[in-house]
Amino acid sequence: MKSKSSNNWVISVSPYLYPVIKDHGHLYLNFERVRIETFISVMQCSTCGSLGHTRNHCSNTKACIRCSSTDDHDRTSCNPRCINWITQNARFRSGFPENHGCRDKNCPVLIQFIKRTIDRTDYGR
Ligand SMILES: [Zn+2]
Ligand SMILES: [Zn+2]
Ligand SMILES: [Zn+2]
């Protein structure tokens, strides 16, 4: 990475996403020569685990953060199942795996969501 003054980036995300951004740093390579001030806010609901809204705007029942089930069950021993996998595969016919919790930092849906958030941002190129 060159350190010209024209390469200023400001990226603001939830602290727990930093490892994801770091691991996927190549996402930003396209923008290397462009001055960017970007605020990427990736929202994840702490009530239902869905991406794209916060619990203040959630009308869903509080779901298990491991298996996304709203049933009464032992939430420490259930099988991980990502709620975002369900919506994502239904909408985009993608083949994401479901066998991780919806707070998993390596959730492919989460990573895809971050990518799309970046792609949607207009950098004025
Ligand atoms: Zn929600
Ligand atoms: Zn569960
Ligand atoms: Zn997931």
CB-based contacts of 92, cutoff 8 Å, min separation 6: none
| pLDDT tens-place string over residues 55-92 | 899 999 999 988 988 999 998 899 998 888 877 888 87
* Residue 37, burial from CB neighbour count under 10 angstroms (0-12, 13-18, 19+): exposed
CA neighbor of 80 nearest in space, from 95, 64, 96: 64
* 37 C-alpha to ligand 1 centroid (Å): 29
- For residue 39, the CA-to-ligand 1 centroid distance in Å is 22
Burial classification of residue 47, based on how many CB atoms lie within 10 Å of its CB (0-12 exposed, 13-18 middle, 19 or more buried): middle
Average pLDDT for the chain: 70
At residue 38, the pLDDT reads: 37
What is the pTM assigned to this prediction?
A: 0.58
Alpha carbon of 57 to ligand 1 centroid (Å): 7
pLDDT recorded at residue 44: 82
Q: How confident is the model at residue 52 (pLDDT cuts 50, 70, 90)?
A: confident
* CB of 81 closer than 8 Å to CB of 73: no
Query: Tens of pLDDT along 23-44?
Result: 444 444 334 333 333 344 567 8
Token pair in block for residue 25: 């740093």
Q: Which residues surround ligand 2, an ion (CB under 5 A)?
A: 64, 66-67, 69, 75, 78
Q: What distance in angstroms lies between residue 106's CA and the mean position of ligand 3's atoms?
A: 8
Give the number of the ligand closest to the Cα of residue 87. Answer: 3
Our separate counts of H helices and E strands in the chain read 3, 0
Q: What is the DSSP string of 6-45?
A: T----B---GGGHHHHHHTGGGGGGGTTS---B-----B-
pLDDT score recorded for residue 78 = 92
Please answer whether residues 61 and 33 qualify as being in contact, where contact means their C-beta atoms are separated by less than 8 angstroms.
Answer: no
